[in-house]
Amino acid sequence: MHYPRSLGEFQAWFRTYADCLDYLDWLRWPEGFVCAECAHPRAWELADGRHECRECHERTSPTAGTIFDKTRTPLTVWFTACWLFASQKDGISALALKRALEIGSYQTAWAMLHRLRSVLVRPGRERLRGDVEVDETYVGGEEPGLRGGRQRGKKVLVGVAVEREAPKGFGRCRMVPIPDASAKTLRFFLLDHVEQGAKVITDGWSSYPGATKDLYVHEPLSGASGASGADASKLLPGVHKVSSLAKRWLLGTHQGSVDEEHLAAYLNEFVFRFNRRRSRSRGLVFYRVLELAAAHDPVRYRDLIANPKPDRQQRPPPRTRGRPPSLERPRAGRPWRRATPNYSG
């Protein structure tokens, strides 16, 4: 087996920094190390886990050039964060991660989750195919507990595409912020996310004939333009279902505290989860995230912060740069046996 199937296996496999480093090593070079400088396949293994090329003497760490490169967060903490991110169906919020791993600052936990999110879109992933429902919807601006139409933040227009499965049900989806609902914008959205030649099912919005022209089979549902509520959900049940799940997820796991600048990253995470909802093993999802992370270029903190303040509501404490403690710990020696009983018997 190449991924842990349970929490117990996860804990047994990744007890130390060296265990984690070796797993990354195996993910990066499953056929054995090859020097990136000179392509030489023979290397010496150094005590710190690096490889030294026998030809050009270049030294390479398994984390070099990945999102784990030069991070101050111990690998055991990264792996556990990754496990929590992958093993929970709805993921984990930055606040919950901070508490679970005793990470000193909200900012650090927030940045770790964003680094993981940033690897989820595999370059060259396959576009949607077959019969695909396409629509636009507004996401954001909602806040839990505020009724009566009070709204904070800004709504963002999002393009939604969902594969229909025969005889019923849905396949994969995509959700991406778009600047407007013009024919040109929607055409780019389709080209990025839907295989040419697919059947594109939409409402009667006037941009779709132009957006699908010559490249797609367009099936506009007459009477669907401007339809709302029950009507819209009947005509385009896939996009309706996916958008309401996404909105509920943003309000639930993330308490609606998502800035418009980072909405695209959160939607990537939602799409990643939705498209793996039938995955039999959460361990497999963990493996996929780490595999993508090991293959991904480093992400710098300043690349993550489109806007220098992290998400609304949960502001980080000022200038507390927390370095999380490693999860590699000495044995605690059954502290409960040494505790003074708080009862007399």
Q: How far is the CB of 26 from Zn ion (least distance, A)?
A: 20
Angle, CA 272 vertex, CA 66 and CA 179 arms, to 5°: 95
27, 35, 156, 236: which one binds Zn ion (CB under 5 A): 35
Q: What is the DSSP letter of 69?
A: T
9, 15, 16, 37: which one binds Zn ion (CB under 5 A): 37
Q: Which is nearer to Zn ion, 45 or 90 (CB)?
A: 45
Q: How far is the CB of 25 from Zn ion (least distance, A)?
A: 16
Q: Which is nearer to Zn ion, 51 or 172 (CB)?
A: 51
Q: How far is the CB of 33 from Zn ion (least distance, A)?
A: 10
The CA dihedral of 224, 225, 230, 235, to the nearest 10 degrees, is: 30
Question: Residues 237-241: contacts with CB within 8 Å, 24+ apart?
Answer: 237/133, 238/133, 238/162, 238/163, 238/164, 238/170, 238/173, 239/133, 239/134, 239/135, 239/137, 239/160, 239/161, 239/162, 241/162, 241/170
Q: How far is the CB of 51 from Zn ion (least distance, A)?
A: 9
In this structure, which amino acid lies at residue 292? Answer: L
Q: How far is the CB of 42 from Zn ion (least distance, A)?
A: 9
Q: Which is nearer to Zn ion, 58 or 219 (CB)?
A: 58
11, 16, 32, 38: which one binds Zn ion (CB under 5 A): 38
Q: How far is the CB of 57 from Zn ion (least distance, A)?
A: 7
Token readout for 26 is 């195996």
Q: Which is nearer to Zn ion, 51 or 193 (CB)?
A: 51
Q: What is the DSSP letter of 330?
A: -
Q: Which is nearer to Zn ion, 5 or 40 (CB)?
A: 40
Specify which residues 137 forms β-bridges with.
Answer: 158
Residue 41 binds to Zn ion (criterion: CB under 5 A)? no
Q: What is the DSSP letter of 43?
A: E
Q: Which is nearer to Zn ion, 55 or 303 (CB)?
A: 55
| Pairwise CA distance, residues 94 & 114, whole Å | 9
Q: How far is the CB of 278 from Zn ion (least distance, A)?
A: 43
| Footprint on residues 52-111 left by Zn ion (CB under 5 A) | 53, 55-56, 58
Quickly count: other Cβ atoms within 10 Å of residue 147's Cβ: 7
Per-residue interface string for the shown chain with Zn ion, residues 204-243, x marking contact by CB under 5 A? ----------------------------------------
13, 29, 34, 40: which one binds Zn ion (CB under 5 A): 40
| Footprint on residues 102-161 left by Zn ion (CB under 5 A) | none
How many CA atoms does the CB half-sphere of 60 hold within 13 Å?
25
Q: Is the dihedral of CA 119, 316, 17, 301 positive or negative?
A: positive
Q: Which residues contact 243 (CB under 8 A, 6 or more apart)?
A: 135, 137, 139, 158, 160, 175
| Pairwise CA distance, residues 96 & 106, whole Å | 9
Contact region with Zn ion (CB under 5 A), list: 17-25, 28-36, 79-87, 266-274: 28-36
Token readout for 274 is 């939705």
The count of chain residues that interact with Zn ion, using the rule CB under 5 A, is 8
Q: Which is nearer to Zn ion, 12 or 38 (CB)?
A: 38
Q: Which is nearer to Zn ion, 59 or 241 (CB)?
A: 59
Q: How far is the CB of 50 from Zn ion (least distance, A)?
A: 13
List contacts with Zn ion (CB under 5 A).
35, 37-38, 40, 53, 55-56, 58
